[in-house]
Amino acid sequence: MTKEDRADLLGHGGDSETSERYCEPHEIATLCEFVLKLPAVTTDLQPQEINLLPWVLQKQVAPFSQPSRSKRARSSSHPKA
């Protein structure tokens, strides 16, 4: 299983958490077996059209997203005129 697949399976986005805590092959194999045993509860759903939010369609940052620290530092050091 690739590192990326392992991170997805475990719900981790950061490289260090996955690499440091979940790197034993037997742990990953056990988790994978468990996931494969889970029932498919969505098999009765019919395909539907996807309606994306306007800010997603425009590839903008989510309106509720927090700016990163580096962006906050830059914007506070360069006040708008």
Model confidence pLDDT, tens digit, residues 22-80: 556 667 777 788 788 888 888 899 999 999 999 999 999 888 887 766 565 555 555 55
Tell if the pTM clears 0.85, that is, is over it. Answer: no
Residue 25: what pLDDT?
A: 60
- Dihedral (CA of 30, 32, 35, 37) sign: negative
Report the pLDDT averaged over residues 19-24.
59
User: What pLDDT score does 65 carry?
Assistant: 84
Helix runs in the chain, H state only: 3-10, 15-21, 25-37, 54-57, 69-77
Residue 10 pLDDT > 60:
yes
